[in-house]
């Protein structure tokens, strides 16, 4: 970018205002002059642009993500370079990231937490079917609109970082950017898998249900050792409204061994959706809050279910903490979304671009009767494929054909 065009990337994207900042990138609201639409532009930090191997992986991952089309994934429009500035262009959102909502109003009702987690699983599961691993699932990368629609963002950068070995302290710092949500295998430096994303989704669900994280530590190394060695607490220890069987599901999701968890986000999503639908709930009829995601477990599309109202009396504050007001930049939208991250420090600014922080929303909570719910344990139903049925039929025919032979042998022996 030239000094005369400090807010214009490649003569096409005019940066309007900074929206957020993280360890890997700074996010701006921008205008696409070619198409006349508002977009979000994520600009990589200079410390990441000196490694040709990382930049190659970053561009490849961005192209992979651009091929994903799912209502619960932020769409990537473009990836480019203007001088030494490397950027990614995404759809713009007017909404809130999940971390701020958790800080403002957690613990969530059981139904709202399940609804959001199911939609996260739908988006991440779709990426898993396309052969992609997110590698950095956390509430800051989950965008929620005012009607509780959900989109997952920040595919690409984390995976590109994971694929390239750390070469300096800055890279190491970035890799350890989200130690509260890393899986045990990631904490040990192993490459992430879909089961790693499942673990991270479990941490996010735990935080929505309790308003706190399962593991805490004074530094990144202590947090890493907690993920590797410590047994996670049950959510019901901090929120007695969490049913026992939901505790069991989360304990499986937070298993130290990847093979002991659900294999993909799709599988976890089906479990949570079945659990939510089979829960015996007594409450007034309430309007639908956002569309439910469907999973490829059956040929038919799973219809949405109306979530429950959030009862004020059901809220259980986390120990030693009080609800904090939400004040942040807006980022999500009804059909389109913008990427955002929680800044670890005062976010840097681009020359000539004002930094704007708009107050976030706090979704109104209608008065509602106390919810009396009883949930049952849910396991995935067995599924018989065509090969199994054919083999069973052949075995049945073989048995039937052997019966006359047995009769003839018996008669010959008796005669």
Is the backbone of residue 11 left (phi > 0), alpha (psi -120 to 50) or beta?
Answer: left
* Interatomic CA distance for residues 406 and 386, integer angstroms: 31
Say which residue the tokens 């992979």 belong to. Answer: 64
- Tell me which residue of 136, 195, 154, 198 sits closest to 61, measured CA to CA: 154
- Tell me which residue of 305, 296, 302, 304 sits closest to 383, measured CA to CA: 296
Q: What is the DSSP string of 1-59?
A: --GGGTTEETTTEEEEEEEEE-SSEEEEEEEETTTTEEEEEEEE-GGGTT-HHHHHHHH
- Tell me which residue of 213, 16, 255 sits closest to 102, measured CA to CA: 213
Residue of 94, 136, 197, 266 marked active site = 136
The alpha helices in 149-294, defined as continuous H runs, are: 157-163, 169-175, 184-187, 194-210, 220-229, 244-253, 265-278
Query: Are residues 235 and 316 in contact, defined by beta-carbon separation less than 8 angstroms?
Result: no
* Interatomic CA distance for residues 127 and 113, integer angstroms: 22
Say which residue the tokens 């890997």 belong to. Answer: 24
| CA angle in degrees (0–180, nearest 5) for 151-157-160 | 135
* Interatomic CA distance for residues 287 and 278, integer angstroms: 19
Helix (H) or strand (E) holding 85: strand 85-91
- 136 belongs to the catalytic site: yes
Beta bridge partners of 138: none
* Interatomic CA distance for residues 292 and 33, integer angstroms: 35
For residue 107, whether the previous peptide bond is cis, meaning omega lies within 30 degrees of 0, is yes
Is the backbone of residue 129 left (phi > 0), alpha (psi -120 to 50) or beta?
Answer: alpha
Which are the contacts of 131, defined by CB distance < 8 A and separation ≥ 6? none
- Tell me which residue of 116, 54, 172, 102 sits closest to 342, measured CA to CA: 102
Active site residues: 136
């Amino acid at each position: 970018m030239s000094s005369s065009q400090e807010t214009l990337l490649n003569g096409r994207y005019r940066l309007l205002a900074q929206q957020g900042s993280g360890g890997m990138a700074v996010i701006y609201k921008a205008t696409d002059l070619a198409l006349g639409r508002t977009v979000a532009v994520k600009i990589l930090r200079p410390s990441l642009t000196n490694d040709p191997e990382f930049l190659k992986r970053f561009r490849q991952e961005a192209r992979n993500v651009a091929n994903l089309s799912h209502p619960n994934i932020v769409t990537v429009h473009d990836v480019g370079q203007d001088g030494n500035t490397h950027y990614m262009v995404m759809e713009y959102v007017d909404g809130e990231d999940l971390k701020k909502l958790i800080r403002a109003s957690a613990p969530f009702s059981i139904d709202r937490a399940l609804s959001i987690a199911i939609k996260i699983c739908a988006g991440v599961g779709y990426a898993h079917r396309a052969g992609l691993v997110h590698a950095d699932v956390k509430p800051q990368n989950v965008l929620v609109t005012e009607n509780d629609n959900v989109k997952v963002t920040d595919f690409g950068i984390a995976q590109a970082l994971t694929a390239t070995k750390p070469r300096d302290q800055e890279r190491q710092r970035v890799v350890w950017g989200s130690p509260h949500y890393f899986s045990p295998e990631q904490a040990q430096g192993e490459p992430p898998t879909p089961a790693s994303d499942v673990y991270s989704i479990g941490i996010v669900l735990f935080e929505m249900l309790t308003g706190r994280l399962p593991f805490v530590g004074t530094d990144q190394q202590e947090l890493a050792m907690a993920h590797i060695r410590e047994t996670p607490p049950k959510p019901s220890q901090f929120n007695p409204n969490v049913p026992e069987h939901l505790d069991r599901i989360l304990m499986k999701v937070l298993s130290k061994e990847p093979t002991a968890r659900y294999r993909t986000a799709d599988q976890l999503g089906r479990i949570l959706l079945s659990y939510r639908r089979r829960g015996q709930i007594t409450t007034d009829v309430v309007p639908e809050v956002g569309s439910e995601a469907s999973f490829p477990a059956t040929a038919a599309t799973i219809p949405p279910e109306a979530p429950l109202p959030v009862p004020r009396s059901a809220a259980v504050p986390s120990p030693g903490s009080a609800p904090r007001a939400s004040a942040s930049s807006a980022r999500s939208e009804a059909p389109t979304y913008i990427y955002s991250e929680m800044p670890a420090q005062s976010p840097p600014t681009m020359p000539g671009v004002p930094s704007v922080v708009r107050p976030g929303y706090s979704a109104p909570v209608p008065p509602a009767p106390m919810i009396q719910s009883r949930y049952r344990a849910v396991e995935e139903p067995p599924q018989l494929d065509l090969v199994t049925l054919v083999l069973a039929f052949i075995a049945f025919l073989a048995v039937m054909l052997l019966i006359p032979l047995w009769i003839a042998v018996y008669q010959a022996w008796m005669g």
